[in-house]
Amino acid sequence: MHSPTSVLVTGGAGFIGSNFLLHMVPRHPDVHFVNLDALTYAGNLTNLTAIEDAANYHFVHGSVTDAELVADLFAEHAVSTVVHFAAESHVDRSIMAPLAFVETNTKGTVVLLEAARAAWDDRDAHPDRYRFFHVSTDEVFGSLGDDGFFSETTPYDPRSPYSASKAASDHFVRAYAHTYDLPVLISNCSNNYGPYQFPEKLIPLFIQNALHRRPVPVYGTGENVRDWLHVRDHCTAIARILEAGRVGETYCVSGNEERRNLDLIHLLLDLVDEALGREPGTSRALITFVKDRPGHDYRYAIDASKLRDELGWTPTYDLETGLRATVDWYLANQDWLDAVQDESYRDYYEQQYSHR
Ligand code: NAD
Ligand code: TYD
């Protein structure tokens, strides 16, 4: 059993990282949390206003690629635990500009591993004192056909620059466990949704476009399949794995909610209409089929029975309940959306969709 004393959370101003901190900081007043975030377009401190003054929370503006800064943080905060979220996370951006993904996702992970290796030099004598938790994705396993599931033993087969950079980081984490006995844990999870997700990803983008009666751009024919996990369920899974996961192991995390994109989009748009009191079908009329994403993975699906059987974790949100709450959250938080979509995001959006 691992009981963290001082947790370095990287990327804690992003979507999943901020939900994780909002979940953990008030529940663990005796644990110190340090949030290291570079505040890229995807990182927003407004996500964290509820905990910004908490005595056990400390924010540091900086990059996981900065080896000197990271080593200093380990020493200054006596870090016992790393929960590593920081990443470039959007597949479409990785297709436009892959090198940033290598830099943050791969190199940044190795910088953190190096700092942990140096700082935790008494780890052999204290097997439960330290943990390096690496948050990864099911996309490292490639793409499924109509049948089958990814599991912890599925061979890696990344197919986008994003998933290749995450796969490389997973390999480094495993290599540090094998070569240096670093006490690591890895999770590979499916598509998250919920509050504070940057509105370039499917669900918040489509809620926002539907609200403003803009076209909702469906890639290809909308046949691709994803498994959807509410971010709060993801956070409880991470907390559980951190506490009781077996060192060196990988755990796959799933929401058990597989949907064809078009089916998910119909449900989502119907919920938007319902929340806005619009005539049923109003938002479905905004569906616009656009050019497919290059190399678009067909299907992701996860068998999460290891996490259920070993650690007793299962998701609590069904998709419709989770989506309804998510639609309500975005409609009620238009100030947040205005704040996070600055000029550079609007330029990206133009570039992304103008040629389609
Ligand atoms: P996000 O893009 O919303 O947030 C990423 C955060 O990392 C931002 O706060 C950003 O400022 C920060 N960051 C970026 N580069 C940094 C750097 N060099 N140094 C420090 N901070 C930096 O991402 P997310 O959706 O919250 O994803 C978090 C993690 O979970 C990622 O590792 C991602 O690969 C993984 N993951 C995400 C999903 C998903 O559906 N969102 C699914 C599976 C796995
Ligand atoms: P996304 O949220 O980008 O996550 P990922 O690519 O990591 O799965 O996309 C989810 C699915 O929705 C994916 O199959 C691509 C598709 N998609 C669209 O059809 N239109 C869009 O505008 C976006 C952003 C995604």
Quick: pLDDT tens for 181-209: 999 999 999 999 999 999 999 999 999 99
Q: Which ligand is nearest to the CA of 9?
A: 1
Q: What is the pLDDT of residues 23-40, one digit of tens each?
A: 999 999 999 999 999 999
SS (H, E, C) 183-205: CEEEEEECEEECCCCCCCCHHHH
93 lines ligand 2 (CB under 6 A): no
Q: How does residue 342 score in pLDDT terms, banded at 50, 70 and 90?
A: confident
- The distance of Cα 233 from the centroid of its chain, to the nearest Å, equals 12
Q: How does residue 353 score in pLDDT terms, banded at 50, 70 and 90?
A: low
Cα–ligand 1 centroid distance for 40 (angstroms): 10
Q: Report d(CA 261, CA 132) in Å as an integer.
A: 34
Helix pair 202-211, 261-276: axis angle to 10 deg: 40
User: 153 exposed, middle or buried (CB, 10 Å; 0-12, 13-18, 19+)?
Assistant: exposed
Helix pair 108-119, 67-76: axis angle to 10 deg: 40
Quickly count: other Cβ atoms within 10 Å of residue 178's Cβ.
Answer: 11
Whether 208 contacts 332, CB under 8 Å: no
Q: How does residue 354 score in pLDDT terms, banded at 50, 70 and 90?
A: low
Domains of the chain, start order? 6-196+228-256+296-317 (3.40.50.720)
Whether 148 contacts 301, CB under 8 Å: yes
Mutate-to-test residue for ligand 2 from 226, 287, 298, highest number of ligand atoms within 8 A of CB: 226
Q: What is the pLDDT of residues 230-239, one digit of tens each?
A: 999 999 999 9
- Helix residue ranges per DSSP H, the chain: 15-27, 67-76, 91-96, 99-101, 108-119, 161-180, 202-211, 231-244, 261-276, 305-311, 319-332, 334-340, 343-354
Take atom 22 of ligand 2 and give the residue whose Cα is closest.
Answer: 217
pTM exceeds 0.75, yes or no: yes
List active site positions: 138-139, 162
The residue assigned the tokens 């290291």 is 36
Pocket lining for ligand 1, CB < 6 angstroms: 10-11, 13-17, 36-40, 42-43, 63-65, 85-87, 89, 104, 108, 135, 137, 166, 189, 191-192, 198
The mean pLDDT of 276-304, rounded to a whole number, is: 97
What are the backbone dihedrals phi and psi of residue 127, each rounded to the nearest 5 degrees, phi first? -65, -25
Take atom 37 of ligand 1 and give the residue whose Cα is closest.
Answer: 137
Q: How does residue 348 score in pLDDT terms, banded at 50, 70 and 90?
A: low
Q: How does residue 1 score in pLDDT terms, banded at 50, 70 and 90?
A: confident
The mean pLDDT of 299-312, rounded to a whole number, is: 98
Q: How does residue 225 score in pLDDT terms, banded at 50, 70 and 90?
A: very high
pLDDT of amino acid 27: 97
The mean pLDDT of 91-118, rounded to a whole number, is: 97
Average pLDDT, rounded, for the chain: 96
Mutate-to-test residue for ligand 2 from 92, 159, 219, highest number of ligand atoms within 8 A of CB: 219
Question: In the chain, what percentage of residues exceed pLDDT 70?
Answer: 96
pLDDT of amino acid 351: 64
At 353 the three-state DSSP class reads helix
